[in-house]
Every structure is written in C-alpha cells, then in structure tokens.
Homo-oligomer: A and B are copies of this chain.
Amino acid sequence: MNLLLLRDEDFTGPGTVRLHGRRARHAHQVLRAAQGGALRVGKLGGLLGRGEVLHSAPDALELSVQLTDPPPPRARCDLVLAVPRPKALKKVLPAAASLGVDRVVLVNAARVEKSYFDSRVLSPAFIEELLVLGLEQARDTVLPRVEVRDRFRPFVEDELPSLFAGARKLLPHPAAGARMPRLDAGEPAVFAVGPEGGWVPFELDLLCAQGFEAFTLGPRTLRVEVCVPFLLGAKGAP
C-alpha cells in the first residue's frame, strides 16, 4: 500500500480523517505510523497529499490531511475483456487500475465459461476492492469504471460505438497478419482482449465491423494479466 485512499465518510472535519480496519492496521503495523509522522494520502476521485499522524493504534488512525497534488496522468486506454476466470480477474483488475486504465468492460463471449458469471468476483463491491488495491499500489485516486455485460452482441452493436467514440480500436489476435500499429503520443485507444482460446469468428467479425483493427503480438499465448500490461506498454506513454 503506497497510498492511503480516503473516502468522504472518513472525514471528521474539513482537514481531519479517522480510519479503522485494514488501512489503520496497515498504517500502524507496516508503515509504523507514529504521532507527528507523515503518510501519503489521496482522496478517492480527488487530489493527492500528505497526512500528518495525530494518533495511530492497531485499529484507529487519525490524520490531519492536506490535499494538494493532482493524481498521475491517465493512460488514455480502455479495455474490453472477455470475462476471465476469477483467479485471473483478481490479478488483471488491480493491474489495470494501477496502469491508469479508464474503463474496463467485462463481456461475455462464446469461449467464456458461463459459471464465471456466478462468481462473487463480478460483484460491484468486490470489483471496487480489487481496483482500490491497484490505486493504492500506483498512488492514483481515479477508479476505472468497470461494467459487466453478459450479452456480447447487444453490447458490441448498441453500446460500444458511443462508449469508445474517438478511440483507436485494437484487437490482438494471433492469426492476424499485421503487427500492432504505432499510435500517436497520447492517442486514446481501446483493446479488445479475447478469452482463453480466443474470440470466435462471429465475435471477430462483429468487433471488426465496429472499427477494430486486428493485429498480432506474435505466436505466444499470454495470460490476460500479462497481456494487459504488455498492451499498455506497447501503447506507449500518455
């Protein structure tokens, strides 16, 4: 945890917060917070800053906070991910948040196991927990928006065009002939990453009809939690 993320309900006054539970424990035990010391803090959705420790105990932390600095720049990158297996989702969502992804749509696909939709990992509360881990890691305050869509075609045909208007639409696909196109610096992009086993031809056609350009990363099949940081790196700096 490189940042203590604060929420509205943590504030006891205009510049003071009181925390309990996981954050207070982490500050006390790992960061060894002590009266007069300083911790990095950030307001969820807002500014970064400094918290002076007024009181620290295993389950209670009081800070006087000054929020002065903007969060890091966004990656200008969105993701459409075929719903990964829960174990992979637990890795890829914190990774995406730490990388500054703006939006993640978790979409059903022919080769997605239907049981994944029953997983508690897809509940909004658990998704937010995973994203917060990524923000704490990267010292960011801006939660990616995450949507879950259990019908591929209506999502791609009806929602996708307006969600990603203006973004370069890119589709890594092992069988594509082209290499990844070079993007302009800061060009917004959305990557559509298929399930284990890949998108089926119907899905590829539907995505390409919406302007996605297929390209290959080479013959290596990467895990989604490896593929996503790789794509962000290949996209280049914001």
Q: Which of B72, B179, B233 contacts A220 (CB 8 A)?
A: B72
Q: For A99, what are the chain B residues with a Cβ–Cβ distance below 8 Å?
A: 220, 222, 226, 230
Nearest CB of B to A238, in Å: 8
Q: Say whether B220 contacts A237, CB under 8 Å.
A: no
Q: Say whether B2 contacts A221, CB under 8 Å.
A: yes
Residue A140 at the chain B interface, CB threshold 8 Å: yes
Residue A180 at the chain B interface, CB threshold 8 Å: yes
| Size band of the interface chain A makes with B | 35 or more
Residue A100 at the chain B interface, CB threshold 8 Å: yes
Nearest CB of B to A176, in Å: 13
Q: For A100, what are the chain B residues with a Cβ–Cβ distance below 8 Å?
A: 220
Please name 14 further chain A to chain B contacts, defined as beta carbons within 8 Å, in addition to the given A137-B222, A225-B225, sorted by A numbering: A72-B218, A95-B226, A99-B222, A137-B221, A138-B220, A138-B221, A180-B237, A218-B237, A218-B238, A229-B230, A230-B233, A232-B233, A233-B233, A233-B235
